Amino acid sequence: MNAEKKPRSPEEMWKAIEEQSALDEMDRIASMSQAEIDAELRAAGFDPAEVAREGSELAERLQARRARELEADARLRASQARLAARRARRVKRPRAELVALIAAAEKDPRLPMTARVHYRNHNEEEASDEHLADLLDILEDLIEEHEAEAKEKKGS
């Protein structure tokens, strides 16, 4: 059974036309020789060497940014895996013990200052035991990760 295609709105049509136009322009430029590209740039009032230099600088900045994003993504995934492992081996603790352990973790000098500020405003009275256990896992993981980074820096 074929579902009828919903007609596009004027905005969707305009966006599709713009996207196709951009693709057509990329195809046109990709088929040009370097000499043709340089001539077109000069005709538009640009210096081809300057455009090439600016393009190279932009590519370098974008590659550096992408490398930082990949590193941050890898760290996030590693953190998520560590927290999942913590949850899997978590022992059920009484609420009073969770609160006491969280208070101790928040005062631990190995806890990064940004984490201390972020987590000091949690409301224990409104939090479920599960939430408190999650918070404790996060704080303990941050402490261990911060300590590992410090050791790594000393070893470098």
Q: What is the pLDDT of residues 45-96, one digit of tens each?
A: 999 999 999 999 999 999 999 999 999 999 899 999 999 999 999 999 999 9
Residues 99, 51 share a domain: no
Q: What is the CA radius of gyration of the chain?
A: 27
From residue 123, how far is each of 109, 126, 130 by CA, in Å?
22, 6, 13
Residues 134, 118 share a domain: yes
Which pLDDT score, from 0 to 100, does residue 120 have? 66
Query: Which structural domain, as residue segments, surrounds residue 55?
Result: 41-89
Whole-model pTM: value is 0.55
Residues 75, 98 share a domain: no
Average pLDDT of the segment spanning 9-23? 96
d(Cα 20, Cα 72) in Å, to the nearest integer? 34
Residues 110, 71 share a domain: no
Residues 130, 114 share a domain: yes
The proportion of the chain whose per-residue pLDDT surpasses 90, expressed as a percent, equals 58
Q: Is residue 102 part of a domain?
A: yes
Domain boundary among 73, 89, 105: 89
Q: Is residue 114 part of a domain?
A: yes
Q: Is residue 5 part of a domain?
A: no
Q: What domain count does the chain have?
A: 2
Q: Which residues contact 83 (CB under 8 A, 6 or more apart)?
A: 137, 138, 141
Which pLDDT score, from 0 to 100, does residue 80 have? 92
Q: Is residue 21 part of a domain?
A: no
